[in-house]
Amino acid sequence: MKHKKSVICAVVAFLVLATVFGMGSSTTVAKELTSDSIKEKEEQIKAAEEEKKELQNGLSDLKQIKKDLEKSKNDLSKYVEELDANLADIESKIEELKQLIADKEAEIADTEKKLEEAQRIEQEQYEAMKVRIKFMYEKSDDFYLETIFSAKSFGDILNKADYIEQLSAYDREMLDQYALNSQMIQLYKEELETEKEILDEAKAGVVAEQASLQALIGEKEQQITAYQSDINNKEAAIKEYEEDIAAQTAVITALEKAVAEEKAKLLAENGSVITYDGGVFAWPAPSYTRVSSEYGNRMHPTLGVVKFHNGIDLAAPSGSPISAAYDGKVVASDYNASMGKYIMIDHGNDLYTIYMHASALYVSKGETVAKGQEIAAVGSTGRSTGPHLHFGVRLNGSYVSPWNYLSK
Ligand SMILES: [Zn+2]
């Protein structure tokens, strides 16, 4: 009994599985499904490869800007090295001048000593002469008489008078010579002092040059630091941007995969799926036509590097209507930190439209929408710098230009 019951159970289980997997009469559909899923996988691989290429392009942009910034930094470093070499020259010039000034000061001190000595000699001679002149004045007549009377002969008298005269003349001559010597030394000392003044001025000039060069080096070093932080900031900002886009794409790719799976199931059940008839899209922001950022490679407004923009941005005030570009089925009406409030519509044949940064969503997942139907309102939710509609179009798992479907 027990054995028989388990056999029945196995048969029932087989029947259930057979129904679930569409075995039996629908084997041809299963075959189509398999080739469909292969095609889908191939397309997903293609999309992933394209996305990878896109990311690599972004990466080479980053490498280029980093290279440029590093070149500027290196150029500046080289310039600072040159400035440092100039500074070393200037410092050795200052040392040289300091030595020359010290030598000059020693020479001045030496000359001063010589001048003092000369002035002392001059003063002594003057004092001695004064004493002799005073003596001769005081004793003049007596002295002369005494000298004359003490003479042994007339020739002696003449000799003695001559001697007195010679003595006073010698005194004067000596005094004149000593005074001249002092004057010469004084002049020499003055000349040395002038030379020292010139050296002092030269030194002051070079010291000022040193100060301005040091200030310049300080400034350049600050610039180098700024360049370095710029390199770091840029790297961080670009990395963040790339991660953000990668995260968006991951969400969208997952949605596309889910839709594909659902469609495969519908096909298996012989249900109908949406197909795109090739018609032109309706403008997704009916009241505003200004494109604030184009599709494709463009200078990123805040990163300052060329980045791929996967849709078009339509600048419109918050609350302006957003309408479905074409007939389709809503596959996502959701919120995401990056896309904000967003809607994704399936138009069939692997063609999707995406509407980001809305302030309000009017349709839900699974709803069928018609071309031109109001589906949301413009806003600035998610990663957005101001109210705008980011409108993206995906075909076979990759972003394509919305202009392929819109009439300008
Ligand atoms: Zn955008």
Which one is predicted more confidently, 393 or 168?
393
Q: What is the pLDDT of residue 33?
A: 53
Ligand 1 centroid distance, CA of 244 (Å): 12
Which residues have beta carbons under 5 A from ligand 1 (an ion)? 313, 390
Which one is predicted more confidently, 150 or 30?
150
- Does residue 183 register a pLDDT over 60? yes
Using 50, 70 and 90 to split pLDDT, how confident is the model at 111? confident
- Report if pTM > 0.85: no
Cα(247)–Cα(160) distance, integer angstroms? 129
- Does residue 207 register a pLDDT over 80? yes
Cβ count within 10 A of residue 358: 28
Tokens encoding 38: 């292969």
Closest CA to 377 of 393, 392, 394, 363: 363
Ligand 1 centroid distance, CA of 304 (Å): 16
Q: What is the pLDDT of residue 90?
A: 83
Closest CA to 26 of 284, 270, 266, 299: 270
| Residue 354, beta-bridge partner list | 344, 392
| Residue 150, beta-bridge partner list | none
Ligand 1 centroid distance, CA of 313 (Å): 5
Convert the pLDDT of each residue in 21-74 to its tens digit. Answer: 444 444 444 445 566 766 776 776 677 677 667 666 766 676 777 788 888 888
Using 50, 70 and 90 to split pLDDT, how confident is the model at 143? low
Q: What is the pLDDT of residue 92?
A: 87
All domains in the chain, ordered by first residue: 75-232 (1.10.287), 275-408 (2.70.70.10)
Which one is predicted more confidently, 288 or 325?
325
Closest CA to 323 of 361, 274, 277, 286: 286
Cα(101)–Cα(248) distance, integer angstroms? 75
Cα(286)–Cα(374) distance, integer angstroms? 10
Cα(377)–Cα(102) distance, integer angstroms? 85
Angle CA 118–123–127, to nearest 5 = 150
Query: For the chain, how are helix, strand and coil distributed in percent, rounded to 5?
Result: 65, 15, 20
Cα(318)–Cα(376) distance, integer angstroms? 11
Cα(226)–Cα(197) distance, integer angstroms? 43
- Does residue 372 register a pLDDT over 50? yes
Q: Count how many Cα atoms sit within 13 Å of the Cα of residue 282 in the half-sphere of its side chain.
A: 19
Ligand 1 centroid distance, CA of 330 (Å): 20
146 and 104 Cβ atoms separated by less than 8 Å? no
What are phi and psi for residue 178, nearest 5 degrees?
-65, -40
Ligand 1 centroid distance, CA of 308 (Å): 10
Ligand 1 centroid distance, CA of 294 (Å): 8
Q: What is the pLDDT of residue 37?
A: 65
The residue behind tokens 């084997």 is 27
